[in-house]
């Protein structure tokens, strides 16, 4: 018994030493999110000022082309301010809309050490002010409820076309009325649910971003999603699938016998954990894991799979906002440094490497790329400038402007592409090589001007290149040019001690006359078949660059081949606590449409957030000539949505 207590005591002491914050020499990491340590240097010394240029400024990124979308450079997904709300978080009210730091939260201290020329202070002074927190984390938990009404816009079921999914009961057979089997598309008596035009439900997500600070120079970062956008009630007990053979002898997923204690879903009393048996998503999704190493007096090295963001998020967006859904991730090796206040970076990306040596029967071991000629090769370079936070605040207090800007350029090539390799369990016999001879040059520029209570910010993108073959699985020598461009503009003015603000957003994405409908259904080959215009020119904004709640967010999925103008007005009824914002989004593709958004948000100092949003779309003359409408024009319904949000940010 004495040995047991002695060992327990040793274990407790060892655990305490391991978990205690490590005192280190030099400036410490300052990871973003709740609990991050503040810089202890409160004097007027400017040693650390250069690092703030990275904290809220530019984040290099990449493009979003239909076939040539490169991932982009971005810091960790630590900014939880929702861009769609157009309001700042409680901790940094003056920095709304600022792009994230290219090096991630806390890297400002690292880069400062890499470029600092002054000698370190005496050992005892540094020892007293430096303390590195070994483990830190940030993220959020959210529950969202959505109600979509008349999103089919009145398109007849018989047309086979709708801009949004119909209620499933309108297209599937239903056993009802003493065994009568009918569809809502058939003539005759129909049940009342054939008149239903509303879809509703709720979903949840936990975003967890841990940071392991091994020293003041080395750290590991990651991003996980738990129950990522899991629809509530979608994994009831007693259901699911299994691998087996159906009645025709075909092997695959089949429906197993039900749990005898849950013979029908009507008897469900619990939810099963998500798995391949009952959903298409994993319970835990590993989004990104990467390392950051400060090379003193040289710069910073980043490597791994990391979130990717640039500027306003027009090209590449990390999806770090609490109401975002996607988030770009790059497999990247990058080096960056700072010279005379200018951020310089170069990197190598792995956008697509094709099939690996991993076998269906191999669950572990080292795998490797089995072909080099099918790789998408990508090189990147970035240059940016942003004034330090203290310098920005000083300039603004003196009535002077503060300017930030960044330029990101990517060059990518692909000779051959390997098709059918990413099918689970596919063998080498399934893989087919197709010649592409593709290249693209992508450039994006970001600019921001701050003056007093005014913010002006814009981002522009241009993509140029060529691709010799757009067929999926065969070679046809039919070269296409790639020329796409887009622009996003934001202007904000605040009044009444920042309680009242007006915001104006506008943007444009180049279109393509070959694309029919509101999205490029069927792929490039089908859209361009038999047409003489050999140019791929439709540009699309990143889906996490939020503009409205209906047209671009749900019906189209993202802003593409259109222009929009969005004036907004907002007012803080309780400062940093209760806000309301009204938006009017006028959209124009071939025909105009208009959307009205109303948002009310409540947040507390202990990180709780609640939000209610309503939107109403007026089609005007839009959507009139889409496929499936015999005779063209008709009166379309006006879609509406009501969305609720509950969240906790940490």
DSSP string of 491-525? EEEEETTTTEEEEEEEEEE---TT--SSS-TTHHH
Show the CA angle centred on residue 230, arms to residues 224 and 236, nearest 5°: 130
Distance between CA 170 and CA 435 in Å, rounded? Answer: 43
Q: What are phi and psi of 114, to 5 degrees?
A: -70, -25
CA dihedral in degrees (548, 551, 555, 561; nearest 10)?
-110
Half-sphere exposure of 29 (CA within 13 A, CB side): 31
Q: For residue 626, what pLDDT is reported?
A: 56
> Average pLDDT for residues 30-46, to the nearest whole number?
38
**What are 391's two structure tokens?**
């310098």
Q: For residue 487, what pLDDT is reported?
A: 97
Distance between CA 275 and CA 282 in Å, rounded? Answer: 6
Q: What is the pLDDT of residues 299-323, one digit of tens each?
A: 999 999 999 998 999 998 999 999 9
Indicate whether 350 pLDDT > 60. Answer: yes
Q: For residue 518, what pLDDT is reported?
A: 59
pLDDT-derived band of residue 292, with 50, 70 and 90 as boundaries? Answer: very high
Which tops the pLDDT comparison, 624 or 464? 464
Which tops the pLDDT comparison, 312 or 179? 312
**What are 601's two structure tokens?**
């948000």
Indicate whether 409 pLDDT > 50. Answer: yes
Distances (CA, A) of 454 to 96, 493, 503, 592: 11, 5, 10, 30
Distance between CA 364 and CA 415 in Å, rounded? Answer: 30
CB 470 within 8 A of CB 531: no
Q: What sections of 280-408 are H helices per DSSP? A: 389-397
Distance between CA 468 and CA 478 in Å, rounded? Answer: 6
Show the CA angle centred on residue 300, arms to residues 61 and 71, nearest 5°: 20
Indicate whether 261 pLDDT > 60. Answer: yes
Which tops the pLDDT comparison, 167 or 226? 226
Which tops the pLDDT comparison, 487 or 531? 487
Indicate whether 505 pLDDT > 50. Answer: yes
| Range scoring the smallest mean pLDDT among 143-152, 229-238, 348-357, 624-633 | 624-633
Mean pLDDT of the chain: 76
Most confident of 190-199, 261-270, 557-566: 557-566
| Range scoring the smallest mean pLDDT among 131-140, 465-474, 525-534, 596-605 | 525-534
Q: For residue 185, what pLDDT is reported?
A: 62
Indicate whether 179 pLDDT > 80. Answer: no
Which tops the pLDDT comparison, 100 or 342? 342
Distance between CA 18 and CA 647 in Å, rounded? Answer: 32
Q: Which residues pair with 335 in a beta bridge?
A: 301, 346
Distance between CA 114 and CA 37 in Å, rounded? Answer: 20
Q: What is the pTM of this model?
A: 0.75
pLDDT-derived band of residue 18, with 50, 70 and 90 as boundaries? Answer: very low
Q: What is the pLDDT of residues 468-493, one digit of tens each?
A: 988 877 777 788 899 999 999 999 99
């Amino acid at each position: 018994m004495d040995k047991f207590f002695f060992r327990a005591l040793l274990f407790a002491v060892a655990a305490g030493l391991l978990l205690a914050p490590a005192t280190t020499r030099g400036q410490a990491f300052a990871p973003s999110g709740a609990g991050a340590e503040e810089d202890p240097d409160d004097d007027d010394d400017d040693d650390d000022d250069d690092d703030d240029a990275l904290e809220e400024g530019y984040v290099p990124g990449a493009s979003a082309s239909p076939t040539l979308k490169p991932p982009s450079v971005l810091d960790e997904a630590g900014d939880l301010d929702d861009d769609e709300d157009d309001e700042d978080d409680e901790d940094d009210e003056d920095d709304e809309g600022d792009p994230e730091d290219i090096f991630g939260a806390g890297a400002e201290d690292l880069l400062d050490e890499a470029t600092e020329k002054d000698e370190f202070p005496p050992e005892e002074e540094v020892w007293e002010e430096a303390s590195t927190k070994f483990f830190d984390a940030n993220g959020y938990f959210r529950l969202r409820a959505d109600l979509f009404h008349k999103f089919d816009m009145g398109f007849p079921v018989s047309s086979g076309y709708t801009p949004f999914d119909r209620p499933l009961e309108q297209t599937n057979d239903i056993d009802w009325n003493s065994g009568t089997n009918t569809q809502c598309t058939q003539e005759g008596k129909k049940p009342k649910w054939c008149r239903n035009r509303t879809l509703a439900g709720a979903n949840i997500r936990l975003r967890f971003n841990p940071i392991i600070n091994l020293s003041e120079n080395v750290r590991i970062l990651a991003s996980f999603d738990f129950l990522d956008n899991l629809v509530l009630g979608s994994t009831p007990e007693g259901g699911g699938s299994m691998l087996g053979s159906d009645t025709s002898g075909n092997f695959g997923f089949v429906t197993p016998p039900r749990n005898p204690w849950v013979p029908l879903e009507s008897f469900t009393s619990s939810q099963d954990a998500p798995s391949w048996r009952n959903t298409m998503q994993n319970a835990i999704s590993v989004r990104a894991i990467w390392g950051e190493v400060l090379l003193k007096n040289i710069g910073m090295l980043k490597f791994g799979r990391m979130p990717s963001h640039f500027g306003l998020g027009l090209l590449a967006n990390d999806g770090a906002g609490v109401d975002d859904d996607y988030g770009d991730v790059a497999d990247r090796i990058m080096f960056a440094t700072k010279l005379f206040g200018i951020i310089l970076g170069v990197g190598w990306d792995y956008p697509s490497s094709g099939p690996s040596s991993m076998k269906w029967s191999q669950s572990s071991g080292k795998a490797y790329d089995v072909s080099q000629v099918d790789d998408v090769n990508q090189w990147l370079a970035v240059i940016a400038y942003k004034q330090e936070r203290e310098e920005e605040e000083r300039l603004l207090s003196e009535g002077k402007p503060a300017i930030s800007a960044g330029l990101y350029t990517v060059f990518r090539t692909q000779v051959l592409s390997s098709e059918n390799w990413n099918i689970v369990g596919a063998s080498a016999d399934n893989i087919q090589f197709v010649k592409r001879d593709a290249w693209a040059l992508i450039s994006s520029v970001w600019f921001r001007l701050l003056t007093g209570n005014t913010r002006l910010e814009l981002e522009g993108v241009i993509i140029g290149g060529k691709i010799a073959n757009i067929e999926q699985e065969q070679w046809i020598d039919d070269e296409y040019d790639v020329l796409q461009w887009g622009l996003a503009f934001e202007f904000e003015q605040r009044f009444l001690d920042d309680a009242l603000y007006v915001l104006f957003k506008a943007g444009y994405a180049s279109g393509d006359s070959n694309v029919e409908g509101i999205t490029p259904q069927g792929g490039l080959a089908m859209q361009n078949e038999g047409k003489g215009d050999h140019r791929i020119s439709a540009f699309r904004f990143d889906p996490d660059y939020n503009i409205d709640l209906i047209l671009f967010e749900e019906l189209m999925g993202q802003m593409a081949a259109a222009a929009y103008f969005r004036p907004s007005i907002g007012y803080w009824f309780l400062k940093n606590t209760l806000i309301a914002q009204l938006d009017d989004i006028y959209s124009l593709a071939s025909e105009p449409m208009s959307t009205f958004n109303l948002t009310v948000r409540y947040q507390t100092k202990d990180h709780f957030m609640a939000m209610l949003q309503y939107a109403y779309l007026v089609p005007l003359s839009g959507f009139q000539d889409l496929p499936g409408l015999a005779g063209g024009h008709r009166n379309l319904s006006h879609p509406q949505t009501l969305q609720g949000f509950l969240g906790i940010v940490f």
